[in-house]
Amino acid sequence: MANTTKIARCAWASGSKTTPLMMTYHDLEWGHPLKDNDSLLFELLTLEIFQAGLSWEIVLKKRHHLKKAFWSFDLESVAKMGDDDVYRLCQNADIIRNKQKILATIHNAKVIQQIQTSYGSFSNYIWHFTENQVIDHNIQIPAEVPSKDALSEYISKAMKKIGFRFTGPVVIYAYLQSIGIINDHESNCTFKYHN
């Protein structure tokens, strides 16, 4: 007998205009608690920064090229990038060519390296804000999802204080969602608990 379980997704990842790329990201990555992988945590922070002012789908379409351009988000390699690399990336039509965001990515890699020295890992740092707990907002309808909250404002302020760039509270809220610190999957979403 065939499995007839209907798959339900969050509103932003369903509907006639949703692409397979968006659905796959929603189903396999978004909101999954991500720990102990500083490279991927850095990648997702960078993607959120590059997304500011653009659609998430554009960033996902460029993700492979961004990953290639930033050495698979290897922190040591990115932290060593210099003016020649910035110039090269600003000429690369395959990525989002925003010089300030490129510079912020390189700078943020250096800040994360400092955090690794102090906290053991970037994962330890970012998860310490919630004492390693996931915050589940029990979203019933899409309108309940805020663009920022007190936690993202607090973390944004803390991150800026130690030198991070392009980490305002809206970017940080989206980042916390993406790495699973905040679970904003809608209550009826099949993937709320990553099934």
Q: Any idea which residues carry the catalytic annotation?
A: 25, 48, 56
Helix, coil or strand: residue 109: helix
To the question of whether residue 26 is assigned a binding role by annotation, the answer is yes
To the question of whether residue 189 is assigned a binding role by annotation, the answer is yes
To the question of whether residue 90 is assigned a binding role by annotation, the answer is no
If you ran DSSP here, which 8-state letter would residue 52 be given? T
Tokens of 105: 């990515």
Contact between 14 and 189 under an 8 Å Cβ cutoff? The reply is: no
Taking CA atoms, 150 is separated from 12, 155, 166, 169, in Å, by: 23, 9, 18, 9
To the question of whether residue 10 is assigned a binding role by annotation, the answer is yes
Closest CA relative to residue 59, chosen from 73, 45, 77: 45
| Residue list for the binding site | 10, 26, 185, 189
| Residue list for the binding site for Zn(2+) | 10, 26, 185, 189
